[in-house]
Amino acid sequence: MKILVCISHVPDTTSKINFTDNDTKFDTNGVQFVINPNDEFGLTRAMWFKEKQGATVHVVNVGGAETEPTLRKALAIGADEAIRVDAEATDGFSVAKQLANVVKEGGYDLIIGGRESIDYNGGMVPGMIAQLTGANFVNTCISLEIEDDTATAIREIDGGKETVKAKLPLVVGGQKGIVEESDLRIPNMRGIMQARKKPLTVKDPVDANAETQTAQFEKPAPKGDIKLVETVDELVDLLHNEAKVI
C-alpha cells in the first residue's frame, strides 16, 4: 500500500500573531512553525500502516523552501520520502490542485490529510483532492483500518459516529481519534539523522488559479477589565444591577 500524507506548515498555537500591510498579510517574523496537528494525527496513523502492513509513506507540502524543516520533521518521525511543490499556498483550491497532481503522478492508494489546518481553518482541501482525482472521501475520520483494497472508517457526525466502508483509492480528512495524542511521536536522534539522507523532491507547480483571496485580517477583541468582589452579596448585586444577567 502506498500512502501520501498531506502536511500543512502552520504557526505554533503559542506564537504571537500579527499582521502587516494594513492587516492584509500575515506577519511571519518571530513565528515558530510546526506540522498541522490534524495532519500529525494522520501521519502517525500512516506510520502504523507502515509498521504493521508494510506500507510506503510519502509526505507532501505546498510551499516555499521555508517549509522544508517541517517536512524533515515528518521524515524524522518515519516517513520514507518527502515532496515539496514549489508554490505559494494561496487558497484551498490552488493547494488542492497541486496536491491532486502529485496524487495522480504517484499512484497512491491512500491519501491522508487533516480535516482542516489550524491557521485558516478552511476544511476544504481533502474533499477537493478527492473530487479532482476521482477517489472516495471520508471526512472527520476518527478510526481507520485497511484490509486488502477496502477501508473501514469511523467518522464523527452530528450527535454521534458513523461507520463506513470504501474502496481504495481513498482520501481521508483525519483528526484526533484516528490516533490519540499519547500515540504521537517525537523524533529521536536516530530518526533526525536518517531524515537528512531521505529524499526530499522539489516539484514545479501546475497551473492553478486562486479562487479566493484574503481581504483583511482582524484580531479578536481584547478581554475586558476584571472586577474583584469580596462577598456573594456584592457579586449578586453586580450581576443584577450592572451586568443585568439575573
CATH code, domain carrying 166? 3.40.50.620
| 54 within some domain | yes
pLDDT at 150: 97
Whether 231 is in a domain gets the answer no
Q: How many domains does the chain have?
A: 1
Specify the pTM.
0.88
- Domain assignment of residue 152, yes or no: yes
Identify the pLDDT of residue 210.
86
Task: Examine residue 79 and state whether it is found in any structural domain, yes or no.
Answer: yes
Domain span at residue 196 reads: 2-218
Instruction: Flag whether pLDDT at 109 surpasses 90.
Output: yes
What pLDDT, in 10s, does the model give residues 11-27?
A: 998 888 899 999 988 89
The answer to the question of residue 161 being in a domain is: yes
User: Can you point out the beta strands (E) in the chain?
Assistant: 2-6, 9-11, 18-20, 25-27, 33-35, 56-62, 81-85, 110-114, 136-147, 150-157, 160-167, 170-174, 200-203
Q: Is 68 within a domain? A: yes
